[in-house]
Amino acid sequence: MKPNIFNVATKELSQDAFFTWLLQWADGSNKSHNKELFLAAQDFIKLLISKQLGYDKQIVKVKAGRQRENIDIWAEVNDEVFIIIEDKTFTGAHSNQLETYKKVASDWCKNKNHELVCIYLKTGSEANASLDTIENKGYAVVNRPELLNYFSKHSSVDSDIFNDFVERIGLLEKQNNSFETLPIKNWNRNSWEGFYQFLQTQIKVNGWRYVANPAGGFLGLWWHSDEWKDYNVYLQIEEGNLCFKIGEVYNNHSHVRNEWYSNLMAHAKKLGRKEIIKPRRFGSGTYMTVAIVERKHWLGPDDSIVILPEVVQRLKEYEQFIDTLLEQFESAEAV
């Protein structure tokens, strides 16, 4: 395999540089230098604008750059449309940066009589719940599958920079989908991200992200949140174990944890769910694991390829397990 600059330069700044470079190619003066690359760049501009505006004018003039008022990438099109791009690889938005960038750009557009397009461009993977929050802040999301669809229409571009980036994004997608073909024991962080993205299409996921801890952290997915007494009870996958969790416990941690554990285990015994067991150790924090199902029981044997319909069915059974337990409490309170 020939060397690929983007397999070496993997940081967000390198990606910023690529997309800024691509936007600059959309200016009309560049058509004579490389027509196919120029047309690809024009289509990229059209893709971005179409996410928020109806705009069918010919693109004649494009200025693009980086780090304007801390905005990752910006482009001014035909002296009447201003595009800002928050460009992410594997990190997410933080603090109030998106609102700040949008306000700065909105004020500029008001003074210049431009229309504004706000884009959140993500080549890595991110939970749908997180992306929904970003869209609610007035940004349109352009994700990796959408980029791949765009790139697939420009396979004739003769440019090492362009094609190296396309190859890099294709590799990320392949790694993301590796959960479908790798034995479960060989899954890596990319595999789990792809698996979590699949689960988002099958169950109502509250969110997923990297969770740091002293043991090195894990990629967690949580779903099926409900209330028991004044606490939040839910299910969580931690790159292995399926965990029965209780959260928002601010006092009497051990008492609350032990009571929920006793209820869970009694219900498991009643239903013959022997795979639901006590974790190796109990925590005593705000969010605690009360019981677990080992990976081999809910996902599949280590040497096997995951059978997705069976996994989804098991996860729904654990949802039902929680539901029937909580219904018992409701029935008891009604008596």
Calculate the CA 114 to chain-centre distance.
31
Q: How far apart are CA 143 and CA 33, in angstroms?
A: 29
Judged against a pLDDT cut of 80, whether residue 85 lies above it is answered with yes
Query: Is residue 1's pLDDT more than 90?
Result: no
Q: Copy the structure tokens of residue 50.
A: 């179409």
Question: Six-digit token pair at 261?
Answer: 């554990």
Share of the chain above pLDDT 70, in %: 99
Token couple for 15 = 């990606």
Residues 145-156: what's their mean pLDDT?
97
User: Residue 277's beta-bridge partner residues?
Assistant: 292
Confidence of residue 215 (pLDDT cuts 50, 70, 90): confident
Q: What backbone torsions phi and psi does residue 87 show, to the nearest 5 degrees?
A: -105, 125
Burial of 332 by CB count in 10 Å (0-12 exposed, 13-18 middle, 19+ buried)?
A: exposed
Work out the average pLDDT over 198-205: 97
Q: What percent of the chain has pLDDT over 90?
A: 86
159 near 37, Cβ under 8 Å?
A: yes
Measured CA distances, 24 to 45, 62, 72, 120, 203 (Å): 10, 6, 15, 19, 42
Residue 75 CA to residue 65 CA, distance in Å, equals: 7
Cα separation, 219 vs 126, in Å, equals 11
What is the SS3 string spanning 60-79? CCEEEEEEECCEEEEEEECC
What are the phi and psi torsion angles at 140 (to 5°)? Answer: -95, 135
Residue 334, pLDDT score: 57
Q: Cα separation of 139 and 120, whole Å? A: 6
For range 139-165, the mean pLDDT? 97
The structural domains of the chain, with segments of one domain joined by +, span 5-176, 182-334
pLDDT at position 306:
98
Pairing verdict, β 115-122 and 81-88 = parallel
Three-class DSSP category at 52: coil
Secondary structure class of 83 (helix, strand, coil): strand
